[in-house]
Amino acid sequence: MTDPSSIHEQLKDLLTREGADFRVVEHEAEGRTELIAKIRGNRTEQAVKSIVVMIRFGTPALAGGARENEPRYALANVPGDCRVDLKAIRDLFGGTQSAFAPREKAEELTGCVIGSIPPFSFNDQLEVLADPLIQENEEVVFNAGRLDRSIFMKCADFFRVAKPRVAKIAIRAGS
């Protein structure tokens, strides 16, 4: 896995280079959305939760457990008060199965430990997705490649710089 401070620095460099309006906040190390929102003082729905999803294609399992095709991976970004709709992502990609990527694979693709993954990808194998509900916020916040750093930024800048594929991939709590 990449050094987490490296992803953090790459992210700050990208946002600066793209002229994004953002600020970095230091805090105690935490990766759980509800707890970090309290620490940072933001609304839970203002947080962008980033989860690596694996999409499989073709026959779910062949003889001997082999797979017909290699899976694809996506970085699903949803508001902090939502959960990822795995079926919607499966259908978006035309896959036969979708699931949360194994921890090791998610950390390999993002260069970050679980809980610190930012909503940006520095890996060509990881397509960025974002639910339109994120746009209900003028400002968003997310862990910035480290469990002890977060970035607050204008929502419009997030969409402009991250260039995500926008699709309904979130299920709001209670829905």
- pLDDT over 50 (residue 66): no
Residue pLDDT, tens place only, 9-64: 999 999 999 999 999 999 999 999 999 999 999 999 999 999 999 999 986 555 55
When pLDDT is cut at 50, 70 and 90, the band that residue 173 belongs to is: confident
Residue pLDDT, tens place only, 120-162: 999 999 999 999 999 999 999 999 999 999 999 999 999 999 9
Q: Taking the model in full, what pTM does it have?
A: 0.90
Question: DSSP secondary-structure letter at 34?
Answer: H
For the beta carbon of residue 83, count every other beta carbon within 10 angstroms. Answer: 16
When pLDDT is cut at 50, 70 and 90, the band that residue 68 belongs to is: low
The structural domains of the chain, ordered by start, are 4-60+69-172 (3.90.960.10)
Q: Distances from the Cα of 107 to the Cαs of 13, 28, 88, 124, in angstroms?
A: 21, 21, 23, 15
